Amino acid sequence: MSHFSLQISFTSSAWHALMENPWDPLASVREPIESLGGKLQHAFFTEEPYHLLAITEVPDHVSRADLAIAFYAGGAVAQVHTSQLLTASEAQEARRQTGGGPHHPAPHHRAFSTSAS
């Protein structure tokens, strides 16, 4: 099984429906994941720019594109950012398989953006 982190922004109408559903506010997130044979493990509501952070477990054959398509097909998601998660041992194994030695990546500098609101 593979694990993914999903950062999700909902459409305005989906966000309102999500907040008004007292029985299962995460149904619009759970359904696309389960349609691919996966499981929603954790979900956290967040601040801007995404509404939700979800941690999922899906079969190994499911790709980032499969997840994105499943979410967009439902119509509730305005944007989804998908990242595959690796355990420490999985990361070490991937490093061995690529034949890489010790690697110290260069610092990643993020540009901050502002918007006029």
* pLDDT digit string, tens, across residues 57-84: 999 999 999 999 999 998 889 999 999 9
Q: What is the pLDDT of residue 17?
A: 80
Taking the whole predicted model, whether its pTM rises above 0.95 is answered as no
Q: Give 10-residue mean pLDDT values along the chain (117 residues).
A: 93 82 81 95 90 94 92 90 91 84 56 47
Q: Pick from 65, 72, 31: which is nearest to 43 by CA?
A: 31
- Structural domains in the chain, CATH included, are 2-97 (3.30.70.60)
DSSP 84-117: EE--HHHHHHHHHHTT-----PPPPPPPP-----
Say which residue the tokens 């967009």 belong to.
Answer: 72
